[in-house]
A and B are shown apart, each in its own frame.
Chain A
C-alpha cells in the first residue's frame, strides 16, 4: 500500500473527476497537493500532529465544498491554499490550541518561540538556494508572512513597521521575482 504509485492528473481532469465525485479524484488530489498544502499549514500550525489534523480537515472541506470552486475565477491550488490557510489560522486561534500551548513544557519553549518568530528556518522549509538568492530578504519576509503565515498586508505592515504602500510594492516585487524564476 505504501509503495503504491502516486496518482497524477492534469488540473482539468482532476477538477472534472472531483465534480463527478469519483473516488480516484480523492487519491489524485491527495497525491498531487498534500505536500504543498502541508508546507503552508506547517508554517502556521507548528505542532506536527496538529498540522496533520488540519491537513485532513482541509481535504474534507475541499471535498465537501467543491462545488463552490469555479475554475474560471482561478487555479484549483489558489482556492485550496486559501482553505488550508484559513483552517490553520482558525486552529491556532481556537481555545483548544491556546490551552495546549500553555501546557507546553519549559524546555520546548525556546525552540517554539524561535519557530513562532521565524528566526529558525527548518531546512525542509527553505526554498532552493537559487531562489533564496533571487528573493531579497525583505521581500521574502513579507511574502512568507502573507502567503504562508496568513497575515494580512495590514498586519504585516504593523509587524514590520513598514508603510502599507511599501508592503504592497515589496509583495508585488517578490512575486515578480518568483515569476521570473519559475518561468
Chain B
C-alpha cells in the first residue's frame, strides 16, 4: 500500500496522462493500473481534471469549420456505413488501402454495367435484324400479291371491255345478227356474224363458232358478196383466242351474202369455191 502511494506521488501518472513518458514507463504504468484499482482511479481523476481544464480553455471554432471538417471525413469515408464491420474498420485505417478499396469496389460495378449494356444492345441488334428480314419478306409477298391482283384486274377490265363491246353491238338496233349455216362440205359448221350496214361494221362471234380447227398453213377467210363479186373481209383462226369474244372484221356497206372459205394462211384475193364451209344470204 505504501509502495502504491509512493508510486502515485512520483508524479509519473500525471506525465503518463500528459503523454510525456517513455514507452517502457508507459507499459509499466498500464501494468500497474491493471493490478491496482487505486492507480486506475488516480489516473481517471487526473484525466478528468485535465479534460475539464481543456474545456475551460476551449476555443469555439468558426461555424464554417464544422461543415469543412465533417465533409472531409464524410468524403474520405463515404459509404462506410454500409460496411459497419470490423474488416471495414481495418480497411479504412490506412489511406492507401482506402483508395485501393474504393477502386476495387467501383471497378466491377462499372464493368457489369457495360457488360449488360453491351449484351442488351447486341440483343436489340439481333432482334431488329430478324424484324427487318421478316418485314422484308412480308413486303415481297405483298408486292407479289399486288402484282397478281393488278394482272387479274387488267384481265378483268379487258374482259369487261369486250363484253361491253359485244353488248353494244348486240343492242344496236341497226345491227343484223346473221347465222351462217354449214354447207354440204361441213354440215355441222356454224358462225354468227353481226353486221351494221349503217356503220359498215362487221364482227364475228368467236364464242359460238363451230368450225373445224385449221392447221398452221391454213386460215378461214370471210367474204361478202357485193354487186355479185366476192369482197375480202379478213382472215381468222378457228381456235379461240383469250382476247376474243367478238372479232371485228373489215368494213362493208351493202352485202347480199356472207360466206367463209378455208384458204391458205394470210388469205387469197378470190375465194376457192369448193372450200366454202358456211354461208348465208341476207
Contacts and interface: CB of A to CB of B under 8 A. Distances in A.
A22 B18 contact: no
Given A35-B60, A172-B9, A182-B52, A74 B17 contact: yes
B175 to A, nearest CB: 109
Contact of B11 (A63, A169, A181): A169
Interface stretch (B71-79, B111-119, B142-150, B232-240): B71-79
B84 A20 contact: yes
Interface SS of B by simple majority: helix
Interface residues of B, number: 54
A5 interface: no
B159 to A, nearest CB: 90
Contacts of B61: 34-35, 38, 52, 55
Interface string B21-62: 000000000100100000000011111111111111111111
Contacts, number: 154
Interface SS of A by simple majority: helix
Nearest to B17: A78
Contacts of A26: 70, 73-74
Contact of A21 (B17, B44, B63, B81): B81
B65 A36 contact: no
A19 interface: yes
Given A21-B89, A55-B61, A60 B11 contact: no
Contacts of B47: 74-75, 77-78
A39 B58 contact: yes
Given A35-B58, A73-B33, A78-B51, 19 more contacts: A2-B63, A31-B66, A34-B66, A35-B59, A35-B60, A40-B57, A43-B57, A56-B69, A64-B94, A74-B43, A75-B44, A75-B48, A78-B50, A124-B59, A168-B15, A169-B11, A171-B15, A178-B52, A179-B45
8 contacts: A26-B73, A30-B66, A35-B55, A38-B59, A63-B73, A64-B92, A86-B19, A147-B18
